Structure 1
Amino acid sequence: MNSIVRDLKNIISGEVSNIKEDLLAVSEDFGGIIQKKPQVIVRPQNSADIAASIKYAQKQGLTISSKAAGHSLSGQSLNNDGILLDMRGLNQIHEFHPDRLWFKGDTGVTWQQVVDRSLPNGVTPPVLTNYFGVTIGGTHSAGGLGPSSFRYGTQADNCLGLEVVTANGDIVWCDPEENSELFNHVLCGYGQFGIITQVKHRLRKYQPFTRTYFLCYDDLNLLLKDEYFLAASENLVDALMCLFSPCIMGVSRTGNNGLKPLIKWFYRMQITREFSSEAEMNDDKFLSQLNFYRHIYTENLTFEKFIQPTMTMTFPESHAHPWLDVILPGSMAKEYIDSALEITPSFIDFRNTPIGSFSMLKKNSKMPMFSLPEEDFLVGFGMYPSVPKSHVQPVLEKMNYLTELGFQMGGKRYIASWSDLDLPKWRLQFGDYWLKLNEMKRKYDPQGILNPGFFQYEYEQVAHPKEQALI
């Protein structure tokens, strides 16, 4: 191990460490479920350091992975017994062009940095996640979803170009025209086909005022009907999300296992519209098109205030986060959500766990590695529990059950959240694209050194003996 540290220090300008405390600090991600400890941490100063590290890993038969903020949930950004690239030091925005509606930044730039730079210039990224502490490299590797994804797709769909270091250690620029095949597989590719070092991303202009309607539904069918209407209507709304709230109506004593809570679920839809002036706002005309049970509240904010997330990531270190996102065909959404909500009280604290849905249109998401069901209107179901690590196993079993149920109904997983897919489920996840995905892995990472241990593949190749991700 000391020889690896010495070798790397001789070939890169960044820091190299195998100090026990440093290794332990990067052995777990936000999910708190998977632990992997690398042999060595490299803190690169530039892309050349990453290229040199990859070439060294290739010669030594070591695996290599990249990690920045570490907000993955299933160990996607961890490394076992190889080299971990700590990308947090690569955190500069190099170009920012509000007039041309794009910026370019390092992979370790956070979306908070981008928003802070954007808002004073009257622009914003088209899609923002519900937490801004994640990095642009991380979300482009996963997809990146937010309340405006029904309109603009994933964050990856708004990428204009990438600097990538390949498994051969080459530094390559790729975009939809130049090296497009690599571009289309690095995006949403979880570091399997190359390591993102810089991102060029689209911006859009925003309107100065927002109005958000908080609407309560007591009928899931009507909620889904309105979700589809709002998502499919061109430029009618700018942000859309739904949260589900349980109301305990009593208990039943007729069940086989003792008392059973009687729960009525209500569904809150938050609809946000942007305006250039308050005079444009016409509530009556807009709301008359919808089928809500009650109009709870209307909130008027400047765009700058509206866009700031309400979600925080302050959880006890003793807790794990087995979060789940399933993307469903719209036609199966009600059946799936009803089934999921029926079993929810049996395994989590459903009163304190965020549960909700989001909408997408398949036509707005073009990334081949972001697998979607075969319908145009898609409904995402999300469940985000935080549980003590000592109690996480029964929750994981239910999450795997909900994953299986989603596949049975033609759904796909958003695999940035908790994912424990075996080979048959990976085949279901990618469907007809499965053979192409294997071909691309063979082409761009023939030795299987890039970020192993998460994806599984279906072809024989040389793999690091301690990290048999490729079979």
Structure 2
Amino acid sequence: MNGIVQDLKHLIAGEVSNASEILTEVSEDFGGIFQKSPQVVVTPQNANDIAQTVKYAAQKGLVVSSRAAGHSLGGQSLNEDGIVLNMRNLDKIREIQKDQLWFKADAGTSWNQVIDACIPDGLVPPVLTNYFGVSVGGTHSAGGIGAASFRYGNQADNCLGVEVVTAEGDILWCSPEENSELFNHVLCGYGQFGIITQVQHKLKVYPSQTRTYLLFYDNLDALLDDKRVLVTEQRVDHLVSFPVPCLQGVSRATGIMQPLIQWFYTLRITVEANSIEAIDDKEILAGLNFYRHIHTEDLGFAQFIEPMIQVDSKDIAHPWMDVFLPASSAKNYIETALKQLPSFLDISKAQMGCFCLVNRNNKMPMFRLPQEEELIIGFGIYPSIPKSQVQPILAELKKLSNLSLEMGGKRYLTCWIDFTIQQWQSQFGDYWPKVNQIKSKYDPKGIFNSGFFEYEQIAHPAIAPQENVRFVENVATKSAIAV
């Protein structure tokens, strides 16, 4: 191990360490479910440091993973017995082009930094996640979804270009026009095909004002119908809803006291405008079938986008799960999930959310959505629990994950994942052979984040070895990209 440290110190300008406290810092992620320990942590100063580290790892047969904020949820930023690239020093905003509406930043830059730099110029990225402490490189590696994603796709869909270190240690600029195949797969690729070191991303001019309506529903059909109307007609700019449990008493019919819960739903929709006077409430709310209009709130845009969610990771596990469902399956799945959740979660504390995506706005091939319908309903379960409770809760969440796939849904892979090989195939569908081909082409030695997608060589006389790769399940050693 000391030999690896000394070798790398001679090769790169950044920091190299195998100190126990440094290894401990990167042995767990925000999810708090898995613990893995690398041999060495490299804190690069630039893309060349990463390229030299990757070349060395390939020579020595070591796996490489990158980590920025460490906000992955299922061990994706962890690494067992290899090299972790701590991207924290790659955190500079390189350029903001006000006229051309884009910014360029290092992969370890937080979205907080981006917002702080762009807001004074009246600019903002089209899609923002609900927590800004995550890194630019991390969300582009995962997708990055928010309340405006039904309009603009995910954050990766708004990417104009990325600088990537390949498995051979080359530093390439990738865009839809240049090295397009690699561009289309490192985005939402969870570090499987290359390491993102820099990102060029769209900006938009934001209006000065927002109006948010808080609507209350007692009927899931009405909620889903209204979402379809709002999204299809593009009446609003941001949309998200939340299930709300109301305890009505208990049942003793089975001999065991069971809670009787009535579910309600809150829909939060927001319209952007240059003046409040330009917003027509009647036009926005026309024909909607909500039970009650609870609240209307006017905020300046900069105040509106400030995240409302606060996260706590100390001694807490976050076995979060997002599923993407065809709109026609959403009601059945959501009702089934809400019926089962009280049996294993304290639903008064577990957050949930329901959002919308539109197929035509999501273009990255690694970001999988059900293809049969244009409107996609996303449903997320976000418990924060003591680590001692993780395993029994994961067992129940796995049943809901399996159900989503059976109903034609897909999983958001940034969350906790426990797939069989058949479920990986189901997740990617007809694109599964292409995923294998791209992995074989861009990482034939399997040095990038092995474990999240694990692969093996299969002998076949008619196919060259590097094209003859498929992925296999390896639940015990999952690791991938930082979010």
Name 2:419's counterpart in structure 1.
421
Match for 1:10: what amino acid? Answer: H
Please tell me whether the aligned partners of residues 32 and 318 of structure 2 are also in contact (alpha carbons under 8 angstroms). yes
Deviations 1:421-464 (CA, angstroms, capped at 9, x unpaired): 1211111100000000000000000000001111134653799x
Alignment of 1:35-434 (within 5 A): 35-234=35-234, 236-255=235-254, 258-315=256-313, 317-374=314-371, 375-434=373-432
Shift of 1:356: 1.8
Task: Give, in whole Å, the separation in 2 of the partners of 1:255 and 1:122.
Answer: 60
Deviation at 1:206, TM superposition (A): 1.1
Change (3 A) 1:468 1:224: closer
Displacement after TM superposition at 1:318 (Å): 1.8
Instruction: After TM superposition, give the deviation of residue 283 of structure 1 in Å.
Output: 1.1
Contact 1:5/1:18 (8 A) holds in 2 = yes
1:318-337 CA-partner distances (Å, limit 9, x unpaired): 21100010000000000000
1:282-309: CA deviation from partner (whole Å, max 9, x where unpaired) = 2123212211000000000000100100
Opposite residue 446 of structure 2, the aligned amino acid is G
Matching residue's letter, 1:88: R
Cα pair 1:457 1:469 within 8 Å, conserved: no
Counterparts of 2:327 and 2:27, CA distance in 1? 38
Relative contact order: is structure 1 or structure 2 higher (C-alpha 8 Å, sep ≥ 6)? 2
Deviations 1:199-244 (A, max 9, x none): 000001111000000000000001000111111113x211000011
Number of the residue aligned with 2:452: 454
SS in 1 for 2:299: strand
Contact 2:153–2:357 (CA under 8 A) maintained in structure 1: yes
The CA distance in 2 between the partners of 1:52 and 1:288, in whole Å, is: 60
Name the amino acid aligned to 1:323.
W
Is the contact between residue 236 and residue 284 of structure 2 (CA under 8 Å) also seen in structure 1? no
Aligned equivalents of 2:352, 2:266: Cα separation in 1: 11
Calculate the TM-score normalised by the size of structure 1: 0.97
Q: How many residues align?
A: 465
Name the CA distance, whole Å, in 2 between partners of 1:368 and 1:453.
21
Tell me if structure 2 keeps the 8 A contact 1:423–1:456.
no
Contact preservation (8 Å) 2:446, 2:455: no
TM-score, normalised by the number of residues in structure 2:
0.94
Contact 2:80 2:477 in 1 (8 A): no
State the distance in 1 between where 2:195 and 2:363 align. 21
Rounded Cα–Cα distance in structure 2 between residues aligned with 1:71 and 1:431: 28
Does the residue aligned with 1:254 lie in a helix, a strand or coil?
coil
How many angstroms does 1:469 deviate by? 7.5
Deviations 1:8-57 (A, max 9, x none): 00000000000011001100000000111000000000000000000000
C-alpha displacement of 1:119: 1.0
* Partner SS state of residue 249, structure 1: strand
SS in 1 for 2:251: strand
Query: In 2, are the aligned partners of 1:328 and 1:379 still within 8 Å (CA)?
Result: yes
Deviation at 1:251, TM superposition (A): 0.6
C-alpha distance in 2 between matches for 1:34 and 1:468: 9
Q: 1:426·1:456 contact (CA, 8 Å) conserved in 2?
A: no
User: What is the rounded CA distance, in whole Å, between the counterparts of 1:259 and 1:268 in structure 2?
Assistant: 28
User: In 2, Cα distance between the equivalents of 1:266 and 1:161?
Assistant: 43
AA matched with 1:43? T
Residue type of the partner of 1:51? A
Aligned-partner SS, 1:304: helix
Runs of 4+ displaced beyond 6 Å: 466-470
The answer as to whether partners of 2:452 and 2:477 remain within 8 angstroms in 1 is no
CA contact 1:244–1:266 (8 Å) conserved in 2: yes
Secondary structure, counterpart of 1:255 in structure 2: coil
- Matched-pair identity in %: 57
Unaligned runs of 5+ in 2: 459-464
CA contact (8 A) 1:438 1:458 kept: no
Q: Distance in 2 between matches of 1:254 and 1:32?
A: 38
Q: Is the Cα contact below 8 Å between 1:354 and 1:385 reproduced in 2?
A: yes
| Partner residue, 1:31 | 31
* Secondary structure of the structure 1 residue equivalent to 2:287: coil
Q: Give how far 1:412 is off.
A: 0.1
CA distance in 1, matches of 2:198, 2:303: 28
Preserved contact between residue 222 and residue 291 of structure 1 (Cα < 8 Å): yes
Specify the alignment match of 1:8 in structure 2: 8
Structure 1: unaligned runs, 5 residues or longer? none
